[in-house]
Structure 1
């Protein structure tokens, strides 16, 4: 499936049911451009000079040479000296014309080669040799024309490599280029002979082929082979780099537009939507386009726009979940949870908007806005109550995050020792060096650091020993399944022993029933939080609750069994 010198790709019959088609080509030159090209290819003036010089030489050469030889033999003066001079000039003109013709012809040839190279570079990707974003559209249009002429269909595919950026950042751009080249070769090896293929940029590819609509299952088999092939490790300088692919597919149908250009754009758009669903569905898979994906895209676009507009409007607000000492029943603090009071959709949970904010690069702005509000709220609480805040892994990549957080503390006049920053365990696996620097910087300011979701990531005992955490938080999955899963009890017992051995206090998330609480107490002393102690509430509700129970400044701490809506089993 190599690209020819004329910039063409062809499509042929494949064992999977594809159908041979005519060559797919870029725009052909018209008659005018061909005539102009012929004039550039030949020096008409130089060629005319040569022809005239040759004719003049033939006409005068014989008589002049005969007179010259006679005078040379007899020693007499030439009878026609002017003709002799004309012959010499004629020879000089002939040599000049020939030299001009040869030089200009060579120059024109070099220019033509340069134009062909420029044309090829303009329509192909220099790294992989595939078509590029500019040329995939016309090539797909030609394929659609050919398929319709033969009664067949076209399937367009969009592919994006999963986790390619991480591999590229970790091993360098040279390794990344090698992965892209290997990926392109593996795709070429599996696609039908005359398919078209393009690299759109980065790690995104598009390809298309013609198939028999009665054998659509052949495309499914092709996708399975593609996913399996791309998932094979790429060997580079002793390293085995592993990437997978998310692929979206869209095919032509009888209800599609008649205009091939419009249909080509539509196919690429639909395949892109399907690819996004493949990523959302878990990556390393393929999805066919479905009509409901359009509505999902519109909803997502609406959420993106809402996030951009809602942050400066103050639509994102902190809610607070109680944290309790399970031994004494004393309220010790709150964890801040993000909520979006959307004018159109109502109150939305962070599971819906946090991933989108991360993808569109607004998570830092959103988080700082929430932390600023939370610090102002918590400043009015009893000084013994702490505030816990979750930090996105993307924020840890910001070298100025510690300084930004310190600025927020100064603005709110909030004591750093009352703030607890929670870092998820998966962050340690991504970049433990950056996390170590950040933790050290924050602790130097007096801020406390907790390792969140412990038990779900990849942290080791060495990391726990070298990283100065102040607390471990057990992931809610293990807590909520206590009494139902023997493994959860074993894991919590191990974490409790680890905490005791390393002198690290532990918080258990996800306490949602008295039965779970009773099971949890069997494994040691913990702080706890969960819906057993009430749903998260906004700042006004928390302040009213604390005020009614003298938990605002200068008031003594009270036990949670004195607070409303708290089951007696929670402090039994």
Structure 2
């Protein structure tokens, strides 16, 4: 006990030092550990085991100063890191909202600004004073600038364009860059339609002038689509309408502007929807072949049938071929549709009278398709339909671009046994050249020369000349557009071999062809006037 009392008396004055040492060790542990100071301290203490406590006290004091220094150092370091973090955050915010080249809002930020403007307009109502207008602009000849002068000149051009837009719209408006060469301007609420239109006119004129970039003179232009914002709009709808207006402006030429046209937009939407339905209809085989008879005008007998595409839409009803054939060409579906219809027609006609031919229209895109001949061969083999009974009708537009290639293709088609006829003869600019240079088997006089021919003296001379020409070239002639007894009488006088038109029959589906073929065609030889009801 006495030993412990002596020990306590000896160490009592140093309790505070021990406690300070302990706390300092706890606080400085992470730092010292990081600096690997404890290993040093262990080695150092082993080397100085004979030190007195006052020396330990001095050591603790030194460690305390080291701790304070470390805390101050770490505090300053953290403040610097915080400042750097804030700067990076601010820079990231700028990059996220502003276009790095021009310094104006980017697409993301502009959508936010436009959304806020729509909300304010909704709160104020669609009054004339609170209406907002938007202009979507696209440079007309910007791509050649990059190609000819490099991207540095292109970038400088975009900056120059931005400056002109900002100068025109003023501080109250908003300019943003949405894409490569696409800008948008949001006019302030004080602008009316007339001011917006005049500002756009000035921009169109201004940007049509040369832009000096260093030693290079750059020529660009701009097209613009204008739209008025409604309080019930959303951002996507406003930009969609502006894009439609821009498309309308560009479709009319360069350096123009156009207001959004709801009627045209609705037509465009209908076209888009019909195209989607058409794609599905072709895949499902809903585009069906119908058949119109081609009659031997002097023998009162059906010589063949022309295949015509028909589409009965489940909602829209009957869709005109003038509509969906053009759409099929525009969206690249004409080949698939043509093959589907021809395959179905060959299957239908295979069991009809072997003397009947099958005429099938081939569009320009189909004729120039490298897969045309292999696909026809495949269909003929698959269906078992004789190639000699198939007549392909092509127009002048299909062959006029390259007579040599057209002649080669026609020759290959004739080699497999298919006949080729020139359709719509007389409506093109080089119909005679087509007959001179290409090996056609027949031609079809366009209906515009035949219908009501008894009242068209000039057409009578033209048709008579065509028949004489064809006879001299040993070509079989078909006159289409026969709608009256007088039309039929005239072509019979000319000894035109075949006739086609509503006087005989309109196109009918496959299930009605048998009944059509059993009609009293002899009545046309006795009294064509009474046969119009056939």
Give the shorter-chain TM-score range: 0.5 to 0.7
Q: Alpha carbons of 1:152 and 1:390: their partners in 2 closer, same or farther (altered >3 Å)?
A: same
Contact 1:509 1:528 in 2 (8 A): yes
Q: Distance in 2 between matches of 1:494 and 1:222?
A: 55
Among 229, 236, 242, the alignment partner of 1:253 is: 229
What is the rounded CA distance, in whole Å, between the counterparts of 1:489 and 1:176 in structure 2? 59
**Bigger helix share:** 2
Partner residue of 1:324 out of 260, 276, 295: 295
Q: How does 1:474-553 map to 2 (within 5 A)?
A: 474-480=445-451, 482-521=453-492, 525-546=496-517, 548=518
**Compared with structure 1, are the counterparts of its residues 208 and 175 closer, same or farther at alpha carbon in structure 2 (3 Å cutoff)?**
closer
Question: 1:111 maps to which residue?
Answer: none
1:393 is aligned to 364
What is the aligned length? 401
2:275 maps to what in 1?
304
Compared CA separation, residues 544 and 290, structure 1 to 2 (3 A): same
| Counterpart check, 1:561 vs 2:523 | yes
Unaligned runs of at least 5 residues, structure 1 = 1-114, 165-172, 230-244, 550-557
CA offsets 1:66-92 (integer angstroms, 9 cap, x no match): xxxxxxxxxxxxxxxxxxxxxxxxxxx
2:327 corresponds to which residue?
356
SS in 2 for 1:442: helix
Q: What does 1:212-223 correspond to in 2, within 5 Å?
A: 212-215=191-194, 218=197, 222=201
| Distance across 2 between alignment mates of 1:434 and 1:197 | 51
Give the TM-score normalised by the residue count of structure 2. Answer: 0.60
SS of residue paired to 1:533:
coil
- Name the CA distance, whole Å, in 2 between partners of 1:273 and 1:502: 52
**Pairwise CA distance, 1:506:** 2.0
Change (3 A) 1:322 1:565: farther
Describe the shift of the 1:324–1:477 C-alpha distance in structure 2 as closer, same or farther (beyond 3 A). Answer: same
- Sort the Cα spacing of 1:248 and 1:500 in 2 relative to 1 into closer, same or farther, 3 A: farther
- The SS at the match of 1:381 is coil
The answer to whether the 8 Å contact 2:359/2:393 transfers is yes
Q: Distance in 1 between matches of 2:382 and 2:139?
A: 43
Q: Would you say the 8 A contact 1:451–1:473 is kept in 2?
A: yes
Distance 1:565 1:282 in 2: 53
Residue 368 in structure 1 maps to residue 339 in structure 2: yes
* Secondary structure of 1:323 counterpart: strand
Output the aligned Cα RMSD.
Answer: 5.1
Which of 434, 445, 451 is residue 463 of structure 1 equivalent to? 434
- Is contact 2:298-2:495 (8 Å) kept? no
Deviation of 1:342 (Å):
2.3
Q: Cα–Cα, structure 1 residues 274 and 530, in superposed 2: closer, same or farther, change >3 Å?
A: farther
- Note if contact 1:317-1:339 (Cα within 8 Å) is conserved in structure 2: yes
Using the TM superposition, give the Cα deviation of residue 373 of structure 1 relative to its aligned residue in structure 2, in angstroms.
0.6
Pairing of 1:45-194 with structure 2 (within 5 A): 153-157=132-136, 194=168
* Equivalent pair of 1:144/1:154 in contact (CA under 8 Å): no
For 2:199 and 2:526, locate their aligned partners in 1 and report how far apart those are by CA, in whole Å.
58
Q: TM-score, normalised by structure 1?
A: 0.56
Distance 1:509 1:282 in 2: 36
Higher relative contact order (CA 8 A, sep 6+): 1
Query: What is residue 13 of structure 1 aligned with on the other side?
Result: none
Counterpart of 1:333? 304
**Cα shift readout 1:124-170 (whole Å, capped 9, x = no counterpart):** 9xxxx999xx9567568779989999978544357899xx9xxxxxx
Structure-2 change in CA distance of 1:174 and 1:288 (3 Å): closer
